[in-house]
Chains A and B, each alone.
Chain A
Amino acid sequence: MEQISRFAGLLARGLFLRPEAYEEMRETRNPFVEGLFIVVVVGVIVALAAVIGNTLEWASTPDLAAIRQTVYDGLTNMDWFQQLEQAVGRPFIEQFQRQWDWQWRIMSTLIPTPVSSLAGIVTTPLRLIIGWLIYGLLAHLFARLLGGQANLGQTLGSTALAVTPQVLNLAGLLPFVTLGGVVGTWVLICRYMALKQAHRLSWGRAFWATVLPRLVIWLLALVLGGIVAALIAAFMPQFVQFLGGS
């Protein structure tokens, strides 16, 4: 019980930017293992909250098949649809139907259901761990280049505490709640505190050590996004054909 209370206290102090919390993570015996534990615990708690929130939201919205049918009926009763049906005939109906089925198939995979959100219990901690490791490694590199004094374990331990604003996702217990940019911004602020404290950096150096990894990640994402978009564009006809044929 004492351990849980100490752990919760550490998370709360990290969340509210108390320098001694980051110092404690820096000086702990095995900062990497403790950091990993924090990230996993936060991830699992957030994922469990999302399961409840998504279930309530799913129960508070009409059935997707009913929405689909209502929109379909409404669209096919509109004047423009009937004019095009008369003017173009069967090819228009077939083209419309293909597009319609394809878009709803994509949409049905994007809308969370109680079952699909159960997967979050595994994927959310995993996503947080990967994000933490990539950011931590880059941040360590930049912090050391800027004169930082912490080792890799200390950097990862301190930046793990910066994951704590993710607990705001607990608001997701309630349906129809959107968090917006608050978590991302708060995490960035906590990372600044973590790197400043762990590496004993001045504010300016800590600022660059915080921001540069993020810029590198954005650039990489941009390049990867471009490659994926190019691949999708290249294979789109086969993909559409596959969906239409299945």
Chain B
Amino acid sequence: MTEILNAVRGAITLDIPALMRFRQSENVFRRGLTILVLVALIVGAVAFLVDFIGGLIRPPLATEMAEIQSGIEQWFQFMPEEGAAEFRQLFLPVLEDVLKIVGDVAALPTRLPRALTVFFQALGRWVNRPLAMLGGFLGYGIWVMLAAKLLGGRGRLPEFLGTAALSSVPYLLLVLERVPCLGGILSLVAWVWGTIIWVVATAVTHGWAVPQMTEEGAVTGYEVAWGKPILAVLLPALAVAVLVLIGGISLLLIILSAIQRAGG
């Protein structure tokens, strides 16, 4: 437990010796994932309570439907003035009818008491968070590992993934995600902070953080070559962005040529 807390502290303060110790610890992969799951569960606990209590006092799907309606209202504000009125006249009655159907379905009785159903739904959302975080982390992690290896990294997969899992620690800030206005800012801070921990973890596990020693063999600090770890962490995201861009442009060209053909 103390070791895990030290690793968490080390991740928050970007303390390279602490991350180095964590990397060398036994079962680093299991410990890293345990931290990630705990972070997600702590963050989700607040949302679970809010969802559960809110679900008991509000009609089913009331929040979701209000969010959809306000989202569409915002969308209308960006439409040109003359088109908006006509579109609104056509679209809004249909939307209202659809939302009414959704509301009617949500209000239908279930075999279990409603309180239990609301509890299970909130619990499901709570458990989904660590699973989604784990999936995203492992999915991105293997690409960063591949990029690091191609750049000459010498790390082993379990050590790398275990250490990089500490990048989830800043997401503890999302405990306050439901606070209006603050949620977005905290997400951004957590994401930037987490990305920096990814870079440090990549440097530490792939041999790009070299210990500086005295003649007696005591470690005085670490000299880090930052270029390669930064590249390894960003390359998968850049690759995805380029692929999305190419896909988007290709789709646009296909649509344009189809329109042209139809016109000709």
Which of these, A57, A182, A207, contacts B138 with CB under 8 Å? Answer: A182
A75: chain B residues at CB < 8 Å are 101
- Among B123-131, B188-196, B226-234, B243-251, the stretch in contact with A: B123-131
Q: How many residues of A contact B (CB 8 A)?
A: 41
- One of A65-73, A214-222, A229-237 contacting the partner: A65-73
Chain A CB within 8 A of B158 CB:
yes
List the B side residues contacting A178 at CB < 8 Å: 124, 128, 131
Interfacial residues of chain B within 9-45, with CB under 8 A of chain A in the complex: 27, 29-30, 33
Q: Known A60-B117, A62-B105, A66-B108; judge A189-B131 contact (CB<8 A).
A: no
**Which residue of A has the minimal Cβ distance to B108?**
A62
B197 to chain A, nearest CB (A): 20
Please tell me if the beta carbons of B157 and A193 are within 8 angstroms of each other in the complex: yes
What is the total of A-B residue contacts with beta carbons within 8 Å? 108
- With both beta carbons as reference points, the residue of chain A lying nearest to B127 in the complex is identified as A177
A168 at the interface (CB under 8 A from B): yes
Contact A174 B120 (CB under 8 A): yes
A181 to B139, Cβ gap below 8 A?
Answer: yes
* A74 interface contact, C-beta 8 A: yes
Contact present for A74 and B158 (CB under 8 Å): no
Contact partners of B138 in chain A: CB under 8 A: 182, 185-186, 189
Alpha-carbon gap, A245 to B83, bound state (A): 46
Q: Are A171 and B157 in contact (CB under 8 A)?
A: no
Q: List residues of A (19-75) whose CB comes within 8 Å of B's CBs.
A: 56-63, 66-67, 70-71, 74-75
Nearest CB on A from B207, distance (A): 14
Q: B33 to chain A: closest CB distance in Å?
A: 8
Which residues on B are within 8 Å of A, measured CB to CB?
Answer: 27, 29-30, 33, 93-94, 97, 100-101, 104-105, 108-112, 116-117, 120-121, 123-125, 127-128, 131-132, 134-135, 138-139, 142, 146, 149, 157-158, 161
Residues of A within 8 A of B (CB): 16-18, 56-63, 66-67, 70-71, 74-75, 77-80, 168, 171, 174-182, 185-186, 188-189, 192-193, 203-204, 207
19 intermolecular pairs with C-beta atoms under 8 Å apart: A16-B27, A58-B111, A59-B112, A60-B117, A67-B108, A70-B101, A74-B100, A74-B104, A78-B94, A78-B97, A171-B131, A175-B120, A176-B121, A177-B127, A177-B131, A178-B124, A178-B131, A186-B138, A189-B157
